[in-house]
Amino acid sequence: MKNLINIIQLKPLGDDRGSLVALESNKSVPFEIKRVYYIFNTKENVSRGFHAHRNLKQIAVCVTGSCRFVLDNGKNREEVVLDSSTKGLLIEDLVWREMHDFTPDCVLLVLASEYYDEADYIRNYDDFLKEAK
Protein backbone atom coordinates (compact mmCIF):
# COMPACT_ATOMS: atom_id res chain seq x y z
CA MET A 1 0.00 0.00 0.00
CA LYS A 2 1.19 3.51 -0.80
CA ASN A 3 2.30 5.65 2.14
CA LEU A 4 -0.06 8.45 3.00
CA ILE A 5 2.67 10.64 4.48
CA ASN A 6 5.51 11.11 2.00
CA ILE A 7 8.17 13.53 3.15
CA ILE A 8 10.66 14.73 0.58
CA GLN A 9 13.90 15.84 2.22
CA LEU A 10 14.94 19.05 0.51
CA LYS A 11 18.66 19.55 0.31
CA PRO A 12 19.85 22.68 2.10
CA LEU A 13 22.54 24.40 0.07
CA GLY A 14 23.92 26.37 2.97
CA ASP A 15 27.25 27.97 3.43
CA ASP A 16 28.63 30.23 6.14
CA ARG A 17 26.28 33.03 5.01
CA GLY A 18 23.15 30.97 5.75
CA SER A 19 20.79 28.55 4.03
CA LEU A 20 19.20 28.14 0.61
CA VAL A 21 16.84 25.51 -0.80
CA ALA A 22 16.25 25.17 -4.56
CA LEU A 23 13.17 23.41 -5.93
CA GLU A 24 13.13 22.28 -9.56
CA SER A 25 10.37 20.68 -11.65
CA ASN A 26 10.86 16.97 -12.25
CA LYS A 27 13.92 16.91 -10.00
CA SER A 28 13.46 17.53 -6.26
CA VAL A 29 9.79 18.12 -7.13
CA PRO A 30 8.36 14.99 -8.82
CA PHE A 31 6.10 16.90 -11.23
CA GLU A 32 6.04 19.97 -13.48
CA ILE A 33 5.31 23.02 -11.28
CA LYS A 34 2.47 25.12 -12.77
CA ARG A 35 1.50 27.14 -9.71
CA VAL A 36 3.02 28.36 -6.47
CA TYR A 37 1.09 29.88 -3.60
CA TYR A 38 1.72 30.56 0.05
CA ILE A 39 -0.45 30.80 3.11
CA PHE A 40 0.59 33.19 5.84
CA ASN A 41 -0.87 35.41 8.55
CA THR A 42 -3.19 32.57 9.56
CA LYS A 43 -5.22 33.70 12.55
CA GLU A 44 -5.16 31.88 15.87
CA ASN A 45 -7.30 28.71 16.10
CA VAL A 46 -7.98 28.71 12.35
CA SER A 47 -7.81 25.43 10.47
CA ARG A 48 -7.71 25.30 6.67
CA GLY A 49 -8.01 22.82 3.85
CA PHE A 50 -10.91 20.39 4.38
CA HIS A 51 -10.93 19.32 0.77
CA ALA A 52 -9.38 16.91 -1.73
CA HIS A 53 -8.51 17.26 -5.40
CA ARG A 54 -9.23 14.86 -8.23
CA ASN A 55 -6.20 15.75 -10.30
CA LEU A 56 -3.57 17.73 -8.42
CA LYS A 57 -0.24 16.92 -6.88
CA GLN A 58 1.22 19.33 -4.39
CA ILE A 59 4.25 19.76 -2.19
CA ALA A 60 3.83 21.79 0.99
CA VAL A 61 6.76 23.26 2.89
CA CYS A 62 6.63 25.34 6.06
CA VAL A 63 9.29 27.85 5.15
CA THR A 64 9.03 29.40 8.60
CA GLY A 65 7.03 28.34 11.63
CA SER A 66 5.01 25.15 11.68
CA CYS A 67 1.61 23.62 11.13
CA ARG A 68 0.07 20.17 11.43
CA PHE A 69 -1.27 18.36 8.37
CA VAL A 70 -3.89 15.63 8.50
CA LEU A 71 -4.08 13.48 5.37
CA ASP A 72 -6.84 10.99 4.72
CA ASN A 73 -7.24 8.65 1.73
CA GLY A 74 -10.69 7.43 2.71
CA LYS A 75 -9.25 4.39 4.49
CA ASN A 76 -6.55 5.81 6.74
CA ARG A 77 -5.97 9.14 8.41
CA GLU A 78 -2.43 10.15 9.34
CA GLU A 79 -0.85 13.35 10.52
CA VAL A 80 2.50 15.07 10.41
CA VAL A 81 3.88 18.30 11.81
CA LEU A 82 5.73 20.35 9.22
CA ASP A 83 8.29 22.31 11.17
CA SER A 84 11.31 22.51 8.93
CA SER A 85 12.12 24.46 5.77
CA THR A 86 13.78 21.31 4.39
CA LYS A 87 10.77 18.99 4.80
CA GLY A 88 8.38 18.83 1.82
CA LEU A 89 5.07 16.99 2.19
CA LEU A 90 3.91 15.38 -1.06
CA ILE A 91 0.12 15.30 -1.39
CA GLU A 92 -1.25 13.17 -4.21
CA ASP A 93 -4.63 13.03 -5.99
CA LEU A 94 -7.72 12.12 -3.98
CA VAL A 95 -6.28 12.81 -0.56
CA TRP A 96 -8.34 14.78 1.93
CA ARG A 97 -6.17 17.37 3.67
CA GLU A 98 -6.62 19.52 6.74
CA MET A 99 -4.14 21.98 8.20
CA HIS A 100 -4.22 22.85 11.88
CA ASP A 101 -2.11 24.50 14.61
CA PHE A 102 -0.51 27.20 12.46
CA THR A 103 2.08 29.14 14.43
CA PRO A 104 1.65 32.93 14.00
CA ASP A 105 4.88 33.10 11.98
CA CYS A 106 3.97 30.17 9.69
CA VAL A 107 4.56 30.67 5.97
CA LEU A 108 3.28 27.58 4.18
CA LEU A 109 4.61 27.39 0.63
CA VAL A 110 2.77 25.11 -1.79
CA LEU A 111 3.94 23.95 -5.21
CA ALA A 112 1.20 22.59 -7.44
CA SER A 113 1.13 20.48 -10.60
CA GLU A 114 -1.94 22.24 -12.09
CA TYR A 115 -3.37 25.73 -12.45
CA TYR A 116 -6.09 26.74 -10.03
CA ASP A 117 -9.37 25.06 -10.91
CA GLU A 118 -12.29 25.27 -8.50
CA ALA A 119 -14.00 22.41 -10.38
CA ASP A 120 -11.21 20.06 -9.29
CA TYR A 121 -12.01 20.53 -5.58
CA ILE A 122 -14.04 18.03 -3.55
CA ARG A 123 -15.13 20.08 -0.56
CA ASN A 124 -17.64 17.67 0.95
CA TYR A 125 -16.17 14.79 2.98
CA ASP A 126 -18.96 12.32 2.09
CA ASP A 127 -18.52 13.09 -1.62
CA PHE A 128 -14.79 12.53 -1.15
CA LEU A 129 -15.37 9.12 0.45
CA LYS A 130 -17.55 8.09 -2.52
CA GLU A 131 -14.92 9.18 -5.06
CA ALA A 132 -12.01 7.68 -3.10
CA LYS A 133 -13.57 4.19 -3.18
Name the residues annotated as catalytic: 51
Distances (CA, A) of 67 to 35, 45, 52, 81: 21, 11, 18, 6
Residue nearest to ligand TYD (CB): 48
Considering the rule CB under 6 A, would residue 38 count as an interface residue with ligand TYD? no
Dist. CA 34–CA 21, nearest whole Å: 19
Sole binder of ligand TYD in the list 25, 32, 37, 124 (CB under 6 A):
37
CA end-to-end span of the chain: 15
Nearer to ligand TYD, 48 or 100 (CB): 48
SS3 content of the chain, % helix, strand, coil (to 5): 10, 45, 50
The letter for the amino acid at 132 is: A
CA 38 to chain centre: 10
Nearer to ligand TYD, 12 or 50 (CB): 50
According to CB under 6 A, which residues from 78 to 117 bind ligand TYD? 116
Sole binder of ligand TYD in the list 28, 48, 83, 87 (CB under 6 A):
48
Nearer to ligand TYD, 12 or 114 (CB): 114
Which residues of this protein are in contact with ligand TYD, per CB under 6 A? 35, 37, 39, 48-49, 51, 116
